[in-house]
Chains A and B, each alone.
Chain A
Amino acid sequence: MKRGDFRPSGLFKALAIAAIAFVAAPAADAQESKGRVRVAILADINNYDPQQFLTVNFPIIKNLYDSLIEYTPDGKAVPSLASAWTIAPDNKSVALTLRKDVKFQSGAPFNAAAVDATLKKAADPQRGKNVYATMSIVKDWKVADDYAITVNFKAPAPDKQITDLLQFISIIDPAGIDTVETKPAGTGAYMLGERVTGQRIRLVANPHYWREKEPVSGEVVLTIFSDDAAATAALESGAVDMVYGGSARSAVRLRGAGYQLVQGPGPLVQVFRINSTRGPFRNEKFRQAFNHLMDRANMLRVGYAGLGEAVALPWAPASPAFDKSYNEKYPFDLDKAKALLSASGLSAAEMSNWKLLVNGGDEPSVVLSQIVQNTLGRVGIKIDLDMKQGSEFVDSMLGGKFDAMFGAIGNIQKFPSRLATNSIYRTSGNPVLGDPNPHKDYVAAIERVNAAFGADVKASYDNLNQVLVKDAFGVPTNTYDSALMVAAKNLSGFTLDIDNMLVARTLGMKP
């Protein structure tokens, strides 16, 4: 073959690019005029769509976008892009008044047309992503004028469910709504400066931001670290000012070393998820025994360095359905567990005929699973761990291909029926338990919560809690922080988001 036949292929192009990158360092940006905050995050973002609430997107959503309203850390609704909202006396609609002084980062005005376009996306099963399920209570909406819009509901909706929805919706620039996954289009305090995939995201202050004196810092650099140890090392060496979403163990250690530890109001709750369509788990008494087989205090201490609370119900303290008495009613107690196990009528062999699926990539899950396995051994149940990682684990989890597993659920600080957006707790289309949902009492309890007004509200929550421990297809163990913030001493101005998303607009370095 002649020499001329040889053309540089893509691989050699890659080598050439690499060679150039080898020589050329990323140009150090000297923009220090209004201060810079450097944040370590532990995973790259997936995209810029504010309707995709993947935890990896948490560092940017609240910085590139604003939602219609916000919650204070204790759950009180406060204005944001909507300056006022009025819920109709019959709870069948909410009238919104929008701010008039807001512009999108593109320069386009923020108005009712933008809210209309955003709601259309949210209500579309293809484009609505994580907001779609929440939109199911919405019948339609009407634009009254440029700055007023009314949302109508299919049935009377409880106040908290309405404000949850408003807080959930971040407004997207109609002109950029089709390309929002790859190009941010919001009103947020920060604009995208630069993104190097897998390495860093640089946010720069939005000069026309509507909140006064915000953002405090001119620039926020999110650097992606491959793991907790690397991020922690960067904080200790002064290369970053804060770690967002690090492990509880590192956080506790760093707190001891004088760093600030900030915990948000929106924890997750770890749940022992039970596939009640399989093996011994079809037996209700057998399932109920697991209420007493969870060594919650030690799970929290060893798995999460004690940062969180042991809980027997899937609620954060801020939830209206939170009920502390269940912790005493359903303690870790092997005698009570044994009584339920023998009441189940299952043989020892039947009781041991299952495997515990474990997310090998999540250290606390590995710890919790080994603790349960050991506890079960003490009551005569011998099981194996089925360790899976990455996609293999996710596929088993999503496909319901497991007997039991630990997995965290969110939205536990919001309206209680939001519980049903989490896979194992779904009332319909449940990927684990299938359709129709075998737990009829649970489905009815969720429906009652959705329809409860006045005096029945408290009773509907109590009923739901009783059903949760009776059906016992999900056994909560403890809450924990999904997004701990550990910061250097001279970082100040933390704004706590109800979902523990990163809110950078008030962050600033003290001199």
Chain B
Amino acid sequence: MNKRELELYLHIPFCIRKCAYCDFLSFPAPERLYKQYVDKLIEEIYGQWKNFQQYRVTTIFVGGGTPSILPGELMEELFAVLYECFDVAEDAEITVEANPGTLTMEKLEVYRQSGVNRLSIGLQSADDQELKYLGRIHSYDEFLKSYQRARQAGFTNINVDLMSALPGQDLHSWKTTLRKVMMLKPEHISAYSLMIEEGTPFYARFGEDGCAGCSSRDEGDQRIQTGRDIKGTDMNLDALPDLPDEETDRAMYHLTRELMAAHGYSRYEISNYARAGYECRHNKGYWTGVEYLGLGLGASSYTFNHRYHNTEDLAEYLSLDLSQAGAAAQDIQELTLEERMEEFMFLGLRLMDGVDGSLFLERFGQNMWNVYGDVIRRLESRGLLKVELPKVQLTELGIDVSNVVLSEFLLDEGI
């Protein structure tokens, strides 16, 4: 029988210390909570798996927070339950996110034994001063040790997370970070331009002007409720140097692509670079409409044509009867055909490969050019899109101002 494709995301909300820019659902917690939480996560898996017997799991991503904060045996138990409950493909891509400073040899070996075949290590910068400004808990040296340990443990697919446009960063220092990391030849590099998110100490320091997506935020947006008091940070925010200006930010971004290309990494998504064959399958699934089941606190899902996410309140999550599938689900939204077409476009265009008109036709039974022809031609004439039939892609300029471009693909009601 031909099974449908499913991706699994597991959220581990714990970290050692919250970074000053971070608006993810993560927080430090007493260690006794780790076990309690993983037990609950297992309860949720047991509650859910029956609904997905028609599916084959092609990727698993354990994200956070800092998943590598968990003791090895908890991670081992978690994976054992996953394999017990789900039909995980032989060649599944299985990633665990890790932070330098938490990655011991023992844990790495447990991961390997549990089938984990990809590590994603959060470095952000190779400059210790910049790391300090970010509120990271590790130095570049500690990262190096973790990285080498991972290689020793046998990991052949490693991603390193980097961030540009950091406080006080200039083009030279960014170049240095890139060079240092590329020398290590990780298979994959994510390089994000720093986003100043509302509710973070960075937001308090840099404010709205530095804030990329905040204008869209509803006040009640639950993502903000990370239960953290900005004043609680031990960082002196006033001591933070300024952010690079927009021109520098873009110069860094454009430099990234050139340097990466010169070292054999190709950009396949706005902020993601990989050596041939090492693109992150899990993340690509998000951009191409693959169904995914999110498990754990706050985790988002897209299954059976519905988008929803779990509660972001830890106490609530721990108290719910998760053996009932969907007990933690909130903001459940069924997607209309139009919404699916919109997502196809605005998510698909994040990929450098762009969107494919023939796939559009196959998926929705409608011609992409009938639905979006005018928009595409208009944006093409402004140099924001390029069309290579049957594909449509963002141009370099289009990437820089992609929100402007992508918003054009939202349909008016009642087409």
Please say whether chains A and B are actual partners in one complex. Answer: no
Interface residues of A (CB under 8 A from B): none
Interface residues of B (CB under 8 A from A): none
